[in-house]
Amino acid sequence: MEIKTDVVIVGTGVGGLFTALNLPRENKILMITKSDVKSSDSFLAQGGICVLRDEEDYDSYFEDTMKAGHYENREESVDIMIKGSTDIIKDLVGYGVEFEKNGEEFVYTREGAHSKPRILYHEDITGKEITSKLLAQVRRLHNVTIMEYTTMIDIIEKGSQCAGIMAVTKKDDKEEELTIWAANTVLASGGIGGRYKHSTNFPHLTGDAIEISKKHGVRLDNLDYVQIHPTTLYSKKPGRRFLISESVRGEGAVLYNKDMKRFVNELLPRDVVTQAIHEQMEKDGTDYVWLSMEHIDKETIMCHFPNIYQHCLEEGYDVTKECIPVVPAQHYFMGGIWVDSDSKTSMKHLYAVGETSCNGVHGANRLASNSLLESLVFAKRAAAAISGTPQCK
């Protein structure tokens, strides 16, 4: 089966959805996703989304991002993300996204490696709130078609340029191969967590776009930069690990060893906390450490972290009364398909956004709650580049 379209977008997370929303309505757009539309890591993001609160916060925010990334970040990209953050929040609010407020004012929380509170949130399901609202907006667009259970198996290369993709779609237990011709292709297919035994990611996210890009000689970058999240709920059950948001530690949760003694500053960067936990587990001869929310009042737990509370309760732990066992797990991929500041890859007419791309914002280690923001800022820039709209650096 052959399909012709103006733009094909591989992935329906925030990167893919926001690209579609920012493209001209006269563009015919096809979006494909490997599973159903809600099985995207964007739906799983708990903590929140960063924003530049005011001009006085710029230097601090920039330094926090660079320091967390071990100063291997691309400075131009960091600057673009931070300066673009306020417009992104305005866009999201315009699409119906609701962030925590005190009256008419936003409430900001803090996470590890942030020098001050600058994170907007919606309970502990910020990703779900943002992604579901964007998905609802995309579904209203007459120029966008979404195909679920459709997997990209290759890109079409003609004269060293991308001319679309090859895909396989499943329907009624039957597979059909698709040739999708497109003037522009956007890869927004997420991370690589499906390649790991312990990961917070959906298992079908296996880095397909990266493998395909490598085959076609598309430039890749920092493929060894994989972030391990320090705190996921320990379980012997197979499958995806349940994340215990860094916001919990930002609100005062502490980590204990087997003797119930604190062993690390919980607000250090994720890689540092992860290393400390691994060292402590080895020292204690345990498979986990303890996370205690004893310093967080019950009202905050129930209002800010209702889903974490409920999930832990279902696993047999009441976080308002007892510690929970936590262990590090694969969480985020900082490397990927190299892109410039407009999300263009090294192949003409091929773009990449979100976790599958590498624009250098995160360096060697992502600062908490920069992922949703980075995806949205550079998805908007990809759409602008495709439509020929000049963007400020």
Catalytic residues: 270
Q: Where are the alpha helices (DSSP H) in 187-269?
A: 208-215, 246-250
Residues 151, 22: Cα–Cα separation, whole Å: 24
- DSSP bridge partners of 265: none
Scanning the structure block, which residue is given the tokens 């779900």?
128
Q: What is the DSSP string of 39-104?
A: -SGGGG--S-EE---SGGGHHHHHHHHHHHTTT-S-HHHHHHHHHHHHHHHHHHHHTT----EETT
Closest CA to 327 of 198, 223, 204, 148: 198
The rounded distance, in Å, linking the Cα atoms of 320 and 309 is 8
The Cα–Cα gap between 158 and 164 comes to 9
Interhelix angle for 14-22 vs 126-139, to 10°? 40
* Class of residue 314 by CB neighbours under 10 A (exposed 0-12, middle 13-18, buried 19+): exposed
Per DSSP, the three-state class of 30 is: strand
Buried b (16+ CB within 10 A) or exposed e, 210-231: bebbeebebebbbbebbbbbbb
Name the 3-class secondary structure at 324: strand
